[in-house]
Amino acid sequence: MINVTKTYLPNREKFNCYVDQIFESGWLTNNGRVLQELERQLAAYLGVEHLLLVSNGTLALQIAYKALGITGEVLTTPFSFVATTSSLVWENLTPVFVDIDPVSFNIDPDKLEAAITERTTAILPVHVFGNACEVEKIDELAQRRGLKVIYDAAHAFSVNRNGKSLLNYGDASVLSFHSTKIFHTIEGGAIIFKRKEDYEKACLMINFGISDYDKVDMLGINCKMNEFQAAMGLCVLSEMDDILEGRKRVWEKYRAYFARHGGVALQQLHPGFSDNYAYFPVVLKDEATLLAVKSELNSLNINPRRYFYPSLNTLGYLEATMPCPLSESLASRILCLPLYADLPAESQEMICSIISKHTTEA
């Protein structure tokens, strides 16, 4: 079975050493030593400050909204994983969808200002498939209009420009460390805050608002990362160079093939930022072609993913829908191909040839 992604499992002996430490200490959660070490190493690796580990990426978004005092309407993209929208609705915030740039797949910054109302308090862009948004344009607009910016950077681990992390833009950036991500802690996530005071507020929020054994300072919730998750993170982080290099080889082989053979449209990457080889999306001519490609690959036990689908502005639980034709068109035609370091070469070649066959026939 060839799935769209494959969880990276690090050296088991290394993981067992951390497990032994956890058993010896008896400290399983509540800001344990292993978690503290992971926070230190991650902040250094990513080149960020005020990094807070949490139990998953969706709760990371929700804590960021709370810590930054977001209310009312939030401008966001319709082309993302459902958590980007559902986390807003769950927190009684109103997503206002702004259509995308059809070649970068990111929110179109030139369409943001027209969507601002007196109820708008924040912008929630997504670095789609790790491709950096037009962060300077977005941050300039937000500062001029007095809005907060939270970047959904779930896919953007390790992306940088000239050594400066993409995660340093905005008021906060949120990462997902789900097991399908290039860096993972089994489940998990992180928030990187611009301001120390927001970070300190969020530290209380993720532990029920408790500041001391007998003192509760504010309303909070439980979304702490545990020691076993942190141990997995430390092991994976120690092997990131190998992970990225292996993924790069597969990604570049796809890119070279479709550059030669055409038949699909590829995401246009931000020229100023690095790539982390997290995903390889292809855009087909129409939905019928996509379904034919997917069906044939599935028959061979190869499972690409319609990612992202559907366009989030069409979700049934929204109080009001709004048209986003570019996102809706892209969502109906995009397919993410299997991508991981040990993807068999013959499987990758078969995937490419099947896509070429259908796109030549289309």
Block mean pLDDT (10 aa), the chain, length 362: 96 98 97 97 98 98 98 98 98 98 98 98 98 98 98 98 96 98 98 98 96 92 97 98 97 97 96 96 98 98 97 93 95 98 96 94 49
Give pLDDT, residue 312.
98
Domains of the chain: which residue ranges?
A: 2-237, 240-361
Reading the block at residue 276, the tokens are 């982390």
Model pTM greater than 0.85?
Answer: yes
Cα separation, 149 vs 127, whole angstroms = 13
Q: How many other CB atoms are found less than 10 A from the CB of residue 218?
A: 12
The top-level CATH class assigned to 2-237 is alpha beta
Cis peptide before 308 (omega within 30 of 0): yes
Cα separation, 186 vs 245, whole angstroms = 21
Give pLDDT, residue 362.
43
Reading the block at residue 136, the tokens are 């300077």
Fold type of domain 240-361 = Aspartate Aminotransferase, domain 1 (3.90.1150)
Give pLDDT, residue 361.
55
